[in-house]
Amino acid sequence: NAGVTQTPKFQVLKTGQSMTLQCAQDMNHEYMSWYRQDPGMGLRLIHYSVGAGITDQGEVPNGYNVSRSTTEDFPLRLLSAAPSQTSVYFCASSYGTGLETQYFGPGTRLLVL
């Protein structure tokens, strides 16, 4: 199993550009989520999904969209990038919806100029 994979590893955007961060898992996990990590603030939940076709907002959803058309994939879209979205983004998944052990992807470092 590849586990949780994320692409790209690193991205530079200009203010106003849009992009999609990709996340995929091959463990048949129902629950998937996106976090951003900023220095001194731990991780903050952006969006999450408890299964294909079901998504919901986390703590900091503004400026981001998600969709879950398959169990395996959970892309995160930045609609119009802003410097405040410069961060490290982690995708995670877990079996079932009881939030058992979460498995994190390697992360995407995003710099918005």
Partner 1 sequence: ELKVEQNPLFLSMQEGKNYTIYCNYSTTSDRLYWYRQDPGKSLESLFVLLSNGAVKQEGRLMASLDTKARLSTLHITAAVHDLSATYFCAVANDYKLSFGAGTTVTVRA
The footprint of partner 1 (CB under 8 A) covers: 31, 33, 35, 40-45, 48, 50, 56, 58-59, 90, 92, 97-107
Q: Angle 87-77-66 (CA atoms, 0-180°, nearest 5)?
A: 110
CB of 53 to partner 1, least distance (A): 15
CB of 17 to partner 1, least distance (A): 25
CB of 24 to partner 1, least distance (A): 15
- Whole-number Å distance between alpha carbons of 59 and 47: 8
Q: Is 23 helix (H, G, I), strand (E, B) or coil?
A: strand
Cβ proximity to partner 1, 14 vs 40, nearer residue: 40
Burial class of residue 69, CB neighbours in 10 A (0-12, 13-18, 19+): exposed
- Whole-number Å distance between alpha carbons of 112 and 55: 26
Cβ proximity to partner 1, 16 vs 106, nearer residue: 106
Burial class of residue 9, CB neighbours in 10 A (0-12, 13-18, 19+): exposed
Cβ proximity to partner 1, 78 vs 92, nearer residue: 92
CB of 107 to partner 1, least distance (A): 6
Cβ proximity to partner 1, 63 vs 107, nearer residue: 107
